């Protein structure tokens, strides 16, 4: 079971309201009037605010939620009011990236694809520092230590009593590019082998070799698919480019990424044991 995340709790709460609105065909203007809001304020509530308890109770009454679901929604509201650990880094993070990390924290599983870099959840501290220090478009030099600390904190979801189930498809280029120098890369490759051995039940790493027929289909791309235990919550995507990080919630592009992951990319990846063998061979050649 994934830990409780204020971000996921707020998202689930608003999804329940949105679905009931659609089911009963209740317009935003009717809700705004019932709650004493302007339409623009209700729009903000839908996107980022948390309803006051009395307003939520009025809305649940309007939308005829049954008593059991009302209790659950009030519980979700209490969780949503809390501050996640990532809030301590609010000065570094945009609202969108804070949301990404909140969703990540509450996810049950993540499927990740990275062509030229090791995914952040699998990076060593030295490797992360080298990557972050080169991200001059988003990171100031005085902030590097905090960004590295943040990345290491995110990795705690891979361990403990409720580990994240994480599958990473990694291009062979990521095992070859000497990010941070030879010694940093050596440490990173050793870490990949170690983490798969230690967390074999929850972490899987598959390598797409240079000679894979479709290995260059998404050269330079990176994306992630986050899944949740609660069946009410759909998968969401998370894309990364040099200039953009963002959550994708729309069903069609998420389905496209999922299909691409399963049918286009995963088909070209080596099996688990062969992937580890390749990583060890790369390490031995350094």
pLDDT tens digits for range 87-130: 999 889 988 899 999 999 999 999 999 988 999 999 999 999 99
Closest by CA position to 184, among listed 88, 254, 118: 118
Residue 216 is predicted with a pLDDT of 57
| Structure confidence at residue 243 as a pLDDT band (50, 70, 90) | low
Round to whole Å and give the CA distance between 84 and 6: 6
pLDDT cut 70: percent of the chain above it? 96
Round to whole Å and give the CA distance between 263 and 252: 16
CATH class of 93-285: alpha beta
Q: What is the mean pLDDT of residues 139-146?
A: 92
Q: What is the mean pLDDT of residues 140-168?
A: 94
User: Residue 165: which H helix or E strand, with range?
Assistant: strand 165-171
Residue 220 is predicted with a pLDDT of 61
Q: What is the mean pLDDT of residues 17-46?
A: 92
Name the segment(s) of the chain with CATH classification 1.10.260.40: 6-80
Mean pLDDT, the chain, whole residue set? 92
Neighbours of 148 (CB within 10 A): 21
Residue 217 is predicted with a pLDDT of 59
Residue 47 is predicted with a pLDDT of 86
Token duo for residue 240:
């990364």
Residues 6 or more apart in contact with residue 137 via CB below 8 angstroms:
242, 243
Closest by CA position to 238, among listed 255, 224, 252: 224
Q: Label residue 166 left, alpha or beta by phi (over 0 means left) and psi (-120 to 50 means alpha).
A: beta
Name the segment(s) of the chain with CATH classification 3.30.870: 93-285
| Structure confidence at residue 252 as a pLDDT band (50, 70, 90) | very high
Backbone angles phi, psi at 81, to 5 degrees: -75, -15
CATH topology of domain 6-80: 434 Repressor (Amino-terminal Domain) (1.10.260)
For the chain, where are the alpha helices, taking DSSP H only? 6-24, 28-35, 39-47, 53-62, 67-80, 95-106, 125-133, 144-154, 172-176, 182-198, 251-259, 272-285
Dump pLDDT digits (tens) for 195-231: 999 999 999 999 999 988 765 556 667 899 999 999 9
Q: What is the mean pLDDT of residues 21-25?
A: 92
Q: What is the mean pLDDT of residues 39-65?
A: 92
Q: Is it the case that residue 48 has pLDDT exceeding 90?
A: no
Burial of 221 (0-12, 13-18, 19+ CB in 10 A): middle
Residue 8 is predicted with a pLDDT of 97
β pairing state of 222-227 and 203-208: unpaired
């Amino acid at each position: 079971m994934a830990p409780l995340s204020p971000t996921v709790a707020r998202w689930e709460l608003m999804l329940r309201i949105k679905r009931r609105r659609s089911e009963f065909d209740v317009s935003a203007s009717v809700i705004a009037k019932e709650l004493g809001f302007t339409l623009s304020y209700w729009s903000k509530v839908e996107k980022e605010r948390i309803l006051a308890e009395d307003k939520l109770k009025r809305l649940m009454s309007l939308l005829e939620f049954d008593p059991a679901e009302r209790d659950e929604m009030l519980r979700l509201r209490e969780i949503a009011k809390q501050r996640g650990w990532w809030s301590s880094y609010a000065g570094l993070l945009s609202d969108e990236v804070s949301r990404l990390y909140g969703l990540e924290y509450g996810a049950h599983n993540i499927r990740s694809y990275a062509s030229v870099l090791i995914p952040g959840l699998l990076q060593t501290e030295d490797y992360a520092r080298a990557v972050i220090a080169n991200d001059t478009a988003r990171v100031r030099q005085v902030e590097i230590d905090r960004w590295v600390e943040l990345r290491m904190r995110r990795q705690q979801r891979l361990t403990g009593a409720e580990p994240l189930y994480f599958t990473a498809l990694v291009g062979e280029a990521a095992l070859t590019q000497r990010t941070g120098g030879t010694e940093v890369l050596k440490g990173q490759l050793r870490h990949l082998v170690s983490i798969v051995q230690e967390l074999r039940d929850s972490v899987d790493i598959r390598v797409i070799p240079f000679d894979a027929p479709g290995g260059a289909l998404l050269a330079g791309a990176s994306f992630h698919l986050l899944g949740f235990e609660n069946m009410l919550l759909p998968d969401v995507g998370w894309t990364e480019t040099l200039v953009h990080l963002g959550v994708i919630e729309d069903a069609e592009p998420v389905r496209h990424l999922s299909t691409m992951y399963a049918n286009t990319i995963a088909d070209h990846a080596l099996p688990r044991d062969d992937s580890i063998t390749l990583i060890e061979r790369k390490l031995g050649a350094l």
